Amino acid sequence: MENINTGDTAFILICSALVMFMTPGLALFYGGMVRSKNVLGTIMHSFIMLGVAIIVWVLYGYSLAFGPDAFGGLVGNLDWIGLRGVGQAPSDYADTIPHIAFMIFQGMFAIITPALITGAFAERIKFSSFIVFTVAWITLVYSPIAHWVWGGGWIGELGALDFAGGTVVHVNSAVAALAAAIIIGKRKGFGKEAMHPHNLPMTILGAAILWFGWFGFNAGSALAAGGLSSVAFVVTHIASGTGALGWILAEKIKTGKPTTLGAASGAVAGLVAITPAAGFVGPISAIIIGLLAGIFCYLAVGLKFKLDYDDSLDVVAVHGVGGALGAMLTGIFASTLINADGANGLIYGNASLVVTQLIAVGATIAYSFIVSFIILKIIDAVMGLRVSEEEEINGLDLSLHSETGYALSGIGGGTLGHTAPEVALQPEPSYAMKPSPASDQH
Amino acid sequence: MKKIEAIIKPFKLDEVKNALSKVGVQGLTAYEVKGFGRQKGHTEVYRGAEYRVDFVPKVKIEIMVDDEVAPRVVDAIMESARTGKIGDGKIFIFPADDAIRIRTGERGTDAI
């Protein structure tokens, strides 16, 4: 216990709180982008993860991800089930903070990762099926992949670099999002009706909260307060800023106007791309990484229309493309001058890191897509993934949660209980085409 | 001239607008309204307290048309707004005295 550093411990606990705050930030980011009839349902998808994911994590998820290796680097064993043995003494993962602090920091990652996926099936998934999917996904996809990269598994052994989760969190969730968008199908009216965001100030506030929380995500991944966390903090801010710039620059060139949704999306794209690189690259590299992320992710949002799938809130374009790009750019820009425990990238004469990064991204894409696809197919067959057409038309807020997000007019505000006189339901009226009064006159 | 008012389901507005464009309607006014008819309202629940909301959201559109066009316009609305379920709405037709385009002072059918 004498190894415990109070500064490091305080830092990691605060970073855990910052990462926690990203999930409600994501709720607002997504909530503003859907139609007003689905705002609560969409916010709920992220918000409830704070409860659902942490239970899985505490009971066995943490053990699967970070517990002692079980099958040659594929998954952790169940020694730490129910957090058995995860206490106040430090662990091998971070020798200056209590093991339980490391656990909760990682737990916040396990919360936001499934929440990221929800943008793909927004406005049409059944709440019960969504909860079942999430529990299965954390168990069978997130925990093993976290083990591969961070828990002493085979990708980490290979020497792939993923500082804060570009592959584990972003590529992983985006690939699951793609599988989900394909299986659940397009929203009713997709490509025909306007489905524009209903509250952009909410989305921008959400993006700003994500940005704020991301300092905990990336700087905290140094697992100690010091030089490395400071570098990670600085490059995180730089890449987010240049991500916003890259996106609106691309927009300006392609459509003539820089948009606020573009700036918010670009900032998130920059954050995603710097995530794997944060503790391995310097400030100038961060400028380039952010700019490229903003531009590439902007170009990628058009893919869903070309390839004809409805990834409603562009999880694939922002987190998938941004995460994969960030992982590859880490292979190019990583430097041992920043982090002696890291590796040199392509521009420092080590081309092999690019190949290693490619293997890490490729394996994550393949595993996450296949297993997510199977989980979703099974849930679809057993309990159905999608709400009924009528529920979708009326919106998830009213259909699934019996609430409305906005009560801006006093008209029809409702009466408490069932005290209002019930109007007897008349038989269905006949819609036979009668001659209209207008035509009578001719 | 006729003034045609229709109360429709909100998500049908785009379809109705497109159907009206096809029969030559060049402009319409739409409002978000609330009302009750034969369609039952819904229940909302806040911290366990149930609220009956009998007034359901609808969209009301208003169109001014030439007499000869009116039957086609009515048919277009009926076909495009209909789902066959209760709550599809209603169409009301009124005789109209005159119409004026404010910019030019044109009157009657020239103004619509």
pLDDT tens string A13-46:
999 999 999 999 999 999 999 999 999 999 999 9
pLDDT band at A442 (very low <50, low <70, confident <90, very high): very low
Residue in B with minimal Cα distance to A404: B44
Whole-angstrom CA distances from A339 to A171, A224, A231, A279, A335 are 23, 13, 10, 7, 7
DSSP state of A434: P
Rounded average pLDDT over A72-81: 92
Q: For chains A and B, what is the number of CB pairs under 8 angstroms? A: 87
Task: Report how far residue A338's alpha carbon sits from residue A325's, in angstroms, rounded to the nearest whole number.
Answer: 20
Q: Which residues contact A382 (CB under 8 A, 6 or more apart)?
A: none
Q: pLDDT tens, B8-41? A: 999 899 999 999 999 999 999 999 999 988 888 8
Output A430 or B71, whichever has higher pLDDT. Answer: B71
Query: How close B85 gets to chain A, by Cα (Å)?
Result: 8
pLDDT at A2: 64
CATH class of A7-396: mainly alpha
pLDDT at A407: 82
pLDDT of residue B53: 86
| Nearest-Cα residue of chain B relative to residue A440 | B71
Q: How far apart are CA B68 and CA B88, in angstroms?
A: 25
Task: Report helix, strand or coil for A176.
Answer: helix
Complex ipTM, two decimals? 0.81
The CATH number that applies at residue B35 is 3.30.70.120
State the best of B18, B31, B36, B42 to mutate against chain A, taking most chain A CBs within 10 Å: B42
Whether residue A153 is predicted with pLDDT greater than 80 in this model: the reply is yes
Mean pLDDT over residues A42-70, rounded? 96
Share of chain B above pLDDT 70, in %: 100
* Triad A161, A209, A112: Cα angle to 5°: 50
Residues A254-277: tens digit of each pLDDT = 999 999 999 999 999 999 999 999
CA distance B31 to chain A (A): 14
Q: How far is CA A305 from the centre of its chain?
A: 21
pLDDT at position A436 is 46
Beta-carbon contacts of residue A362 (< 8 Å; ≥ 6 apart): none
Torsions phi, psi for B60 (to 5 deg): -110, 130
What is residue B54's predicted lDDT score, i.e. its pLDDT? 86
Query: What CA–CA distance (Å, rounded) separates A258 from A206?
Result: 19
pLDDT per position as a tens digit, B45-60 = 888 888 888 888 899 9
Q: Which residues of chain A have a CB within 8 Å of the CB of B71?
A: 436, 438-439, 442
Q: Do B44 and A398 touch (CB under 8 A)?
A: yes
Q: Tell me which chain B residue has its CA closest to the CA of residue A422.
A: B40
pLDDT per residue as tens digits for the range A415-437:
776 544 444 444 544 454 444 44
Q: Are B14 and A193 a contacting pair at CB < 8 A?
A: yes
Spatial distance between the Cα atoms of A423 and B39, rounded to a whole number of angstroms? 9
Angle at which helix A227-255 crosses helix A260-274, to 10 degrees, equals 140
Which domain does B104 fall in, by range? Answer: 2-111
What pLDDT is recorded for position B65? 94
pLDDT at A208: 98
Least confident of A1-5, A178-182, B9-13: A1-5
CA-angle at A297, arms to A295 and A302, nearest 5°: 105
In the predicted model, what is the mean pLDDT of chain B? 92
More confident residue, A374 or B52: A374
What total of structural domains would you count in chain B? 1
User: Do residues B59 and B33 lie in contact, with contact meaning Cβ atoms separated by under 8 Å?
Assistant: yes
Q: Is the predicted pLDDT of residue A439 greater than 60, yes or no?
A: no
Give me the pLDDT at residue A111, please: 98
Q: Which positions ≥6 away from A185 have C-beta within 8 Å? A: A124, A310, A386
Query: At residue A249, does pLDDT exceed 70?
Result: yes
Place of tokens 């505000």: A413
| Alpha-carbon torsion, ordered A191, A194, A200, A204, to 10 deg | 0
B99 and B111 in contact (C-beta within 8 Å)?
A: yes
For chain A, what is the radius of gyration of the CA atoms? 24
3-state secondary structure of B2: strand
3-class secondary structure per residue, A79-110? CCHHHCCCCCCECCCCCCCEHHHHHHHHHHHH
- The residues facing A386 across adjacent strands are A125
CA-CA-CA-CA dihedral for A363, A367, A373, A375, to nearest 10? -160
What local confidence, expressed as pLDDT, does residue A424 receive?
46
Q: Is A256 left (phi over 0), alpha (psi -120 to 50) or beta?
A: left
Q: What is the pLDDT of residue A131?
A: 98
Helix, strand or coil, per DSSP, at residue A432? coil
Inform me whether the pLDDT recorded for A390 exceeds 60: yes
- What's residue A184's pLDDT? 96
Predicted confidence (pLDDT) per residue in A271-303, tens digit:
999 999 999 999 999 999 999 999 999 999 988
Closest CA to A346 of A356, A361, A331: A331
A438–B2 C-beta distance less than 8 A: yes
Structure confidence at residue A418 (pLDDT): 54
